[in-house]
Amino acid sequence: MLALAGVAWLGAGCVMMNVVGGNEVPEERIAQIRPGETTRAEILDWFGSPAAYTDPSGLRLLFEAAEVRPEDVLTFPYADVLVFQLTRAKGRALLLFVFNYIEARGASDRLVVFFDDKDRVMYYGYRKGTDALD
């Protein structure tokens, strides 16, 4: 019995993984967005360069093996919408020789801003999706 336990112990392992892609979306700025007032220039100044595509390639590759991967939120060039996104993935694995458990989760903090023809914010949506990973 001890020998069996020894064999099982030697085959045991634990893996944890944390991957981040994209830039932080500064939450304190989101409260300052005023539809009808805030301009595109201000949005770009506050949040920096928008995601040309919102799926960081590292995470795409990570999920490709599992055939579950994030889709591009928006294929540019739609000048009236900007997307700012931070994507985070967490994984953990318990490897016990005869039984293995692998779990991976991916989520994004995402801000989508729509502009009118005068380059002012029409409306926006924000969600801090990475909170669910903690």
Partner 1 sequence: MRSTEAALCAALFALVAFGSACTIQRTYLGSEILADPYEMVVVGASTKPQVLAHFGPPDRIVRQRDGDVFVYRYAQRNGFQLEIEEPFSGIEIFTWDRVQEKSDRLLVFFDRNGLVSAFGFRRGRAELQPL
- Paired with 48 in beta bridges are none
Touching partner 1, residues 93-132 (CB under 8 A): 97-108, 110-112, 114, 122-127, 129, 132
Cβ-contact 79, 96 below 8 angstroms: no
Which of 31, 39, 57 lies closest to 122, judged by CA? 39
In terms of CB distance, is 103 or 134 closer to partner 1?
Answer: 103
Cα distance between residue 7 and residue 129, in whole Å: 41
CB of 39 to partner 1, least distance (A): 18
Out of 30, 74, 119, 120, the only residue in the binding site for partner 1 (CB under 8 A) is 74
CA-closest candidate to residue 114, choices 84, 85, 86, 82: 82
By CB under 8 A, tell whether 53 contacts partner 1. Answer: no
Q: Which residues bind partner 1 (CB under 8 A)?
A: 1, 4, 7-8, 35, 63, 66-74, 78, 81, 83, 97-108, 110-112, 114, 122-127, 129, 132
